[in-house]
Chains A and B, each alone.
Chain A
């Protein structure tokens, strides 16, 4: 009897060892054409004006093909269980709309298992997107990320400056219906789906490539200086395509070019 109990205990202990949840950190890196890009990059070259975005529904693909949620650790600043704000701008240089705090990783827990592949959404889920920012919990309490007149959040603020010019993007849901705090739907959701099939959690990192985002955008065109997701903004077509968004419908396409995997050492 004692022996049986011991055996059971041993089994539980062993299985506990091998089935311990994985504490995962997913690092993000901001680049422009292979170079790290920062707010205080030299004036001559491309520099950061802004880069902040919401990441939601982070999932990893287990070896049996099932997608499993990465449960983020709420920290009352950057993360809720299913939503994080990544912030690459530190308020220096051309990032004059920003603040010194930065956050470039996702931190959460995956159930035990073997994983290859990472999925996430750039955006704030509809259920969280249309509340009052002054009453919302972090990271939805940042007035710089709220798009007051569009009654939701800026999913992404990204801006690049060059020596002579620049371009910035505010991405978010548009053509919403209802009234502020009582939004019933948005015709152009504009949420970006990212799938990195070869991503090895715990080893690899995610590169945000702003050169890919602006590949077809003429940074020197004085007429087209920004895209704020408006329905008539032709300047949005190219960056939307890069993000894997159909500019005409606002829905996500199968592929995007802006986020890619960097293999870990």
Chain B
């Protein structure tokens, strides 16, 4: 009798230890001053899943002709952008828009330039993988090829079952997007000079950048209304966010017909809602690492940060000739915060110094996010 009760006690203890081991919360490797990112209930984080996602993120075999992976358009050294005005898919098709950075994408309440429906990375991953207009990775209808890949590569055979212990058959496309989403959620930047300044190191940014910061957060320049908060975008959320914050804005980049028209392949939110007032409305991207993510805007139509500042200073872009000719300043759907401002040369330099202080150099080489193949 006593033997049985001791055995029972031992088993119970083992059970509790096992439960603690498997149920312990994922440990985010992010600064405690940041909120924790939200994670879908059906795709909890784990170290093994993140490792698996990293392998998949860099796997060229996830494209129709083996020429591109997620990392082709999201290059770590460029803060996970590709340096192109418009990205190019596996079959050479040119995307209408520019690849967005993945830095702090875990905090994105909406994930892409102009889609109000996409709020989860797991869902977003389907478009580059399977989309055919334009073709990005070109895997539409090739689900079985993906499953074959998972079953044939011993690293995936090794990691998939432990990443998805509840699954009877973990070799599935949904687990590919879940793993990639888990990996990209870990790409959090909080190590810029500006972050060190915020943490109390007064010398982390110079006086010029400090004056630039004042300008950035001033009502005169209005930048912070859309590029505000710890992530420098108003489309920001986190694990304990109370409200769904979304921002799409027309910044007066185009005005082709004098009535607000944007180029037909990039009408922004309008393409999704069909509401005329949504013409030319795009998400304000994060400004973290902004110095590294040229060219700028949804279509890469601004080559440099100086050009971007010039656009906002004018209160909208003037295109004098060509198919896109028009005065964006007069776009009737333009955000009320794009009013224009006058900057002296030194102020312009200060603003640039501040924007440059948002660069997190460590992110560009951090081995957690580098190519594991």
Tell me the A residues contacting B by CB distance below 8 Å. 97-99, 132-135, 141-144, 146, 148-151, 170, 174-176, 178-181, 183, 187-188, 226, 228, 230-232
Contact = CB atoms under 8 A, between A and B. Distances in A.
Contact of B117 (A151, A188, A232): A151
Contact of A180 (B123, B130, B142, B143): B123
A113 B132 CA distance: 45
Contacts of A143: 126, 129-130, 139-143, 173
Nearest to A52: B141
B141 A99 contact: yes
Nearest to B142: A143
Contacts of B123: 132, 148, 151, 180-181
Given A134-B172, A143-B130, A180 B273 contact: no
B192 to A, nearest CB: 31
Nearest to A248: B274
A97 B141 CA distance: 8
Interface stretch (B155-163, B263-271, B288-296): B263-271
23 contacts: A132-B174, A133-B126, A134-B173, A134-B177, A143-B126, A143-B141, A143-B142, A146-B126, A146-B130, A148-B127, A149-B118, A149-B127, A170-B133, A175-B274, A179-B116, A179-B119, A179-B120, A180-B117, A180-B119, A180-B123, A187-B274, A231-B274, A232-B264
A231 B117 contact: no
A170 B126 CA distance: 17
Interface in B69-83: none
A174 to B, nearest CB: 7
B141 A174 contact: no
A13 B310 CA distance: 88
Kindly list the 3 A-B residue pairs having the minimum CB-CB distance in the complex, ordered from nearest.
A231-B274, A144-B141, A134-B174
A180 B127 CA distance: 12
A142 B130 CA distance: 10
B66 interface: no
A187 B264 CA distance: 21
Contacts of B274: 174-175, 187-188, 231-232
Name A's interface SS.
loop
A230 B271 CA distance: 6
Given A148-B127, A149-B127, A180-B120, A175 B141 contact: no
A149 B141 contact: no
Among A132, A148, A178, A232, the most chain B Cβ lie within 10 Å of the Cβ of A148
B174 A232 contact: no
B174 to A, nearest CB: 4
A149 B141 CA distance: 16
Contacts of A134: 126, 172-174, 177
B122 to A, nearest CB: 9
A248 to B, nearest CB: 10
A162 B177 CA distance: 38
Contacts of A226: 133
A232 B267 contact: yes
B115 A149 contact: yes
A225 B373 CA distance: 40
A102 B271 CA distance: 32
A12 B305 CA distance: 85
A99 B141 CA distance: 7
B173 A144 contact: no
A154 B29 CA distance: 40
A149 B114 CA distance: 10
Interface string B166-179: 00000011100100
B272 interface: yes
B135 to A, nearest CB: 8
B322 to A, nearest CB: 16
A149 B119 CA distance: 11
